Amino acid sequence: MGRRVNMDSLGLFVLLIPTFFHWTAASSADEISWSYSGIAGQSEWSEYFPDCGGTSQSPVDVITTQTKYDPSLVPVTPLGYSQHGNQPFSMHNNGHTVIVELPEWMGLGGLPWFFTAVQLHLHWGNGGPGVGGSEHTINGRSSDAELHVVHYNAELYPNMSAAMTQRDGLAVLGILIETGEETNPGFNNILNYMSRIRHADQRAFIPAFDVQSLLPKDLGLYYRYNGSLTTPPCYQSVIWTVFHERVLISKAQLLKMEMMLYSSKVQEVDRMLLQDNFRITQPLNHRIIFASFSAESGRELSSGEVTAIVIGVMCGCVGVAVIIRFIVKTIRSKETEKSQEIKTDLALTITSKAERKEELSPSPQTEP
């Protein structure tokens, strides 16, 4: 397992914050603590992690009308996601999120290189459904939470730590999560065990599960752009795939996600709930977001639009029927007129012939 560094060594940084009112002067970035808000909050990240101030940062707001359709974007293919085996997965709380480490036989196809799975983690808000929590937004709208599945480029780099600083080094799947009526059994594979890792740095082994059960059904509709890790050190090494289709979890599941974990360690007196662990969207700076689908094909139709289309089609059909009926009627009446004319002509000819005959034949009455 030494060759894999989990996302959190992306930030296995010591949490020293609350007692000090300034950044701890540290000899290396690894010793610097960070948080989502407050003194060491996201607006300050770039001071100690220069990449966080870069021009290709994540997450971003996807403005769908400004995306560019790229027909060469094929569906991404999770490899081995469902072959989870019998070895338990390792799950831990790093003070910033819950991380599930993935076995190295899981990977991702459908990109220019083969990528090996490393870990998955979640971002969420606070306050239940409808108040945000996702990192990526679509047309300015947040989802309730977001799942990230992290992979490194195994064709170009020997391991995660080598790949994560390099362009094209990582591929992350972004799955937007919304709240619905039903329990999502896939997410219970994580949520049901979070009580074992309530405090930062706690770790637990959980039964292996089908990771594909966390993904949306349609893996062919997505947005693709070049971006970064969404946590310090914010390396700009990520090929992002944000799916168009959202997955649904129940309200109870969302609340569990939001209320279960602490960002503080077990020995800390002041417990701090781990909430609102999402970064705000970053400027695109001339980057293009590509879409694997054209605006028309991928657009969901609202019930209003569906009604409008149905009414439109019906009116259209009725219109066409009326026009056809009119044409047929006109032709028919023309035909009737014609045939009536012919009949009249015939009748006239017959009568005139008869009259002529009468004229020509000698009248017997005149001869006595």
Ligand X SMILES: *[C@@H]1O[C@H](CO)[C@@H](O)[C@H](O)[C@H]1NC(C)=O
Note whether 225 binds ligand X by CB under 6 A.
Answer: yes
**Are 152 and 118 within 8 A, CB to CB?**
yes
Following CA atoms 93, 23, 166, 55 in sequence, which dihedral angle do they give, to the nearest 10 degrees? 110
Q: What angle do CA 145, 173, 165 make, to 5 degrees?
A: 110
The C-alpha atoms of residue 357 and residue 275 are separated, in whole angstroms, by 114
CB of 145 to ligand X, least distance (A): 25
Q: How many residues at the interface with ligand X, by CB under 6 A?
A: 13
Note whether 122 binds ligand X by CB under 6 A.
Answer: no
Interface region with ligand X, contact rule CB under 6 A, candidates 37-45, 155-163, 192-200, 334-342: 155-163
Question: Closer CB to ligand X, residue 24 or residue 226?
Answer: 226
How are the residues of the chain apportioned to helix, strand and coil, as percentages rounded to the nearest 5? Answer: 30, 20, 50
Note whether 112 binds ligand X by CB under 6 A.
Answer: no
Question: Closer CB to ligand X, residue 32 or residue 171?
Answer: 171
Question: Closer CB to ligand X, residue 162 or residue 255?
Answer: 162
Q: What angle do CA 206, 208, 211 make, to 5 degrees?
A: 115
Note whether 54 binds ligand X by CB under 6 A.
Answer: no
| Residues numbered 161-180 forming contacts with ligand X, rule: CB under 6 A | 161-162, 167
Interface region with ligand X, contact rule CB under 6 A, candidates 86-94, 136-144, 218-226, 335-343: 218-226
Which tokens is 328 given?
Answer: 């047929």
The candidate with the shortest Cα–Cα distance to 81, out of 202, 193, 216, is: 216
- x-or-dash string of contact with ligand X, 253-292, rule CB under 6 A: -----------------------------------x-x--
The C-alpha atoms of residue 75 and residue 101 are separated, in whole angstroms, by 24
At position 6, the amino acid (one-letter code) is N
The C-alpha atoms of residue 78 and residue 75 are separated, in whole angstroms, by 10
Q: How many helices (H) and strands (E) in the chain?
A: 6, 16
- Of the listed 92, 96, 121, 244, which one is catalytic? 96
At position 82, the amino acid (one-letter code) is S
**In angstroms, how far apart are the furthest CA atoms of the chain?**
153
Parallel, antiparallel, or unpaired: how do β-strands 137-138 and 141-142 relate? antiparallel
Instruction: Identify whether 121 is a catalytic site residue.
Output: no
Interface region with ligand X, contact rule CB under 6 A, candidates 160-168, 200-208, 267-275, 323-331: 160-168
Among 5, 15, 117, 229, binds ligand X (CB under 6 A): 5
Note whether 9 binds ligand X by CB under 6 A.
Answer: no
Note whether 66 binds ligand X by CB under 6 A.
Answer: no
Q: Which residues are catalytic?
A: 96
Q: Which spans of this chain sit near ligand X (rule: CB under 6 A)?
A: 2-3, 5, 158-159, 161-162, 167, 224-226, 288, 290
